[in-house]
Amino acid sequence: MASTSLNEERLQQICESLREQLFAKGTRGLSGVARIFRTADFNGNKKLDKEEFEEALSFSGLFLKTHEISFLFKNFDRDGDGNINYDELLHGIQKPLAGDRLEIVKTAFGILDKDGSGVIDISDVATVYDATKHPDVQEGKKTAREVTIQFLGTFERGTKDGKITFDEFAGYYEDLGASVPSDQYFVEMMQSCWKIKPAAKKSDDTPLAKWIALLKKKTQQKTKTGQRMTLTLKKIFSFFDGDESGAITKDEFVQTLVRLGLHLKPAEQGEFFTYFAGSDGRISTAEFIDKMDFDE
């Protein structure tokens, strides 16, 4: 069981690396990569052998270490015949629309679907969509006009009826989301492009709430782009978990806070520790992360 978990974690780390590379190249999603993979598929069976796979990755401008390529290939060679189905691979790299990503996409579609029919006119999209806020425009990689044309063209590749269903709309953003590792960045991008006002957050001025907010901020600062903040905390907890019990004492907790750059007074440390600690006077990693309630 532990081995399976480690394999999955390593697989996700490699996929995160590919997403970050896609993001650095411009938020085009996986559509361009899919075209290159199809070109490399000479016999049209939607499979690539390892050599074809390596070449396709290189042509896509995606680079991994040799052992990472081997690991990725092995994981997606489902039947062990020395080939991978590249559609399955691309689906594995994609981040499924869920949580905040799915909600913001639904909100954007709802702005256009005024009659609630589940279908919108492509002409209506053009009048609302603000390409000037798109990341590629903001970073000077494309003009607003280029982004708008590419965006609208996505929905006219099949039947050119000028209509967009929610599945088509969501499919576009699921593809695009593969090159946007951060959920927060994805949501902010959607809010900007579709002029969606962020939901008002409840104010909580209690010291505990402020410490938690500050701790989240400090954790985020120490987390690499595309990685989960929970993983950052797990690593720090493990470092100070002297007896490797999966839980830390008050002194170890204070050391953890200091490592994260959060310096509290002794009385505050005690109150903060008590909030997370169990009846045994220790904090387990799982309890701590659960109460932190990260929005990832």
DSSP letters of the chain? Answer: -HHHHHHHHHHHHHHHHHHHHHHHH-S-TTHHHHHHHHHH-TTSSSEEEHHHHHHHHHHTT----HHHHHHHHHHH-TTSSSEEEHHHHHHHHSPP--HHHHHHHHHHHHHH-TT-SSEEEHHHHHHH--GGGSHHHHTTSS-HHHHHHHHHHHTTSS--SSEEEHHHHHHHHHHHHTT---HHHHHHHHHHHTTPPPPPPPP--SHHHHHHHHHHHHHHHTSPTTS-HHHHHHHHHHHH-TT-SSEE-HHHHHHHHHHTT----HHHHHHHHHHH--TTS-EEHHHHHHHHT---
CA neighbours closer than 13 Å in the CB half-sphere of residue 12? 12
Tracing tokens 């279908």 back to the chain, one arrives at: 119
Same-domain pairing of 72 and 27: yes
pLDDT at 201: 52
Amino acid in the structure at residue 235:
K
pLDDT at 71: 92
Give the total number of structural domains in the chain: 3
Residues lower than pLDDT 70 in the chain: 1-5, 26-29, 156-160, 181, 199-205, 278-279, 294-296
56 is written with which tokens? 């396709």
pLDDT at 255: 86
Note down the domain range covering 263. 207-292
153 is written with which tokens? 């063209």
Rounded Cα gap, residues 187 and 196, in angstroms: 10
135-169 pLDDT, tens digit each: 788 878 889 888 888 888 777 655 667 788 898 89
The separation between CA 131 and the C-alpha centre of its own chain, rounded to angstroms, equals 22
Domain boundary among 44, 76, 93: 93
Same-domain pairing of 170 and 219: no
Any domain includes 201: no
pLDDT at 1: 42
Any domain includes 198: no
What values do phi and psi take at 272, rounded to 5? -65, -40
The reply to whether the predicted model has a pTM over 0.75 is no
Same-domain pairing of 87 and 9: yes
276 is written with which tokens? 């997370």
The CATH number of the domain holding residue 124 is: 1.10.238.10
Any domain includes 199: no
pLDDT at 105: 94
Same-domain pairing of 85 and 116: no
Any domain includes 103: yes
